[in-house]
Amino acid sequence: MRRSEPRGSERRLQHLKVVAREAGLKLTHQRLEIFRELAATEAHPDAETIFRAVQQRMPTVSLDTVYRTLWMLHDLGLVTTLGPQRTGVRFDANLDRHHHFSCVRCGLVRDFESAELDGLRVPDSIKRLGSVVEAHVEVRGLCTTCQRGQETSKGKHPPGTRGG
Ligand SMILES: [Zn+2]
Ligand SMILES: [Zn+2]
């Protein structure tokens, strides 16, 4: 069922290098590590989560650098974002057509693929609201961890991952 092959992140890294070269962008060690972190996960982390992860390997990295790098990658079309808001926005290095399952309790987000959902037609009435860039389906529910936590009183699942 899981179709995101482990080679996915290697492929994303190669793509990054090509795009960066064409854009004349210098791939510093920090930028590479930030992208590598995002490319290796399906968790759709926010900037602070990525910051905490890369900080383990590079204590000198700053949250500001992480933010700037992520938005730079975004402007180059190398990552996409979830959620409309600028703060707490989450990043996604999976550029293949896919949809999202998100847990309403812990905020976990996972990719899934569906030929059926890919075929969904966006209604013409959308034109009144604006032009469409892309459309995907977000399925909301309780992840298996939270489901288990509901059955047995309080789960060990970490509560909300970020503060305001
Ligand atoms: Zn959950
Ligand atoms: Zn995704």
Q: State in Å: Cα 4 to ligand 2 middle.
A: 11
pLDDT digits (tens, 9 = 90+) for 53-80: 999 999 999 999 999 999 999 889 899 8
Look at residue 88 and tell me whether its pLDDT is greater than 80: no
Q: State in Å: Cα 45 to ligand 1 middle.
A: 14
Percent of the chain's residues with pLDDT above 90: 52
* Owning domain of residue 109: 99-151
Q: State in Å: Cα 89 to ligand 1 middle.
A: 18
109 and 65 share a domain?
Answer: no
12 and 81 share a domain?
Answer: yes
117 and 82 share a domain?
Answer: no
- What does the pLDDT read at residue 163? 38
pLDDT digits (tens, 9 = 90+) for 94-132: 888 999 998 878 888 899 999 999 998 899 998 899 998
3-state secondary structure string, 10-56? HHHHHHHHHHHHHHCCCCCHHHHHHHHHHHCCCCCCEHHHHHHHHHH
Ligand number nearest CA of 100 is 2
Please count the residues of the chain: 164
The mean per-residue pLDDT over the stretch 5-19 comes to 82
Tell me if the pTM is above 0.75.
Answer: no
What is the rounded CA–CA span in Å between residue 34 and residue 131? 32
The pLDDT-based confidence of 19 (bands split at 50, 70, 90) is very high
Ligand number nearest CA of 142 is 1
50 and 126 share a domain?
Answer: no
Tokens of 22: 């064409």
Look at residue 161 and tell me whether its pLDDT is greater than 60: no
Which among 57, 64, 95, 101 is positioned nearest to 78, based on CA atoms?
Answer: 95
Q: State in Å: Cα 74 to ligand 1 middle.
A: 27
Rounded to 5 degrees, what are φ and ψ at 41? -120, 155
Least confident of 1-10, 49-58, 66-75, 85-94: 1-10
14 and 71 share a domain?
Answer: yes
- What does the pLDDT read at residue 103? 86
83 and 16 share a domain?
Answer: yes
Number of domains comprising the chain:
2
Q: State in Å: Cα 163 to ligand 1 middle.
A: 17
CB-proximal residues (5 Å) to ion ligand 2: 92, 94, 111
- What does the pLDDT read at residue 125? 92
- What does the pLDDT read at residue 160? 47
88 and 103 share a domain?
Answer: no
The pLDDT-based confidence of 137 (bands split at 50, 70, 90) is very high
Q: State in Å: Cα 109 to ligand 1 middle.
A: 9
Q: State in Å: Cα 120 to ligand 1 middle.
A: 27
Look at residue 144 and tell me whether its pLDDT is greater than 90: yes
Q: State in Å: Cα 42 to ligand 2 middle.
A: 7
Look at residue 157 and tell me whether its pLDDT is greater than 60: no
Q: State in Å: Cα 104 to ligand 1 middle.
A: 7
Query: Is 160 domain-assigned?
Result: no
Ligand number nearest CA of 113 is 2
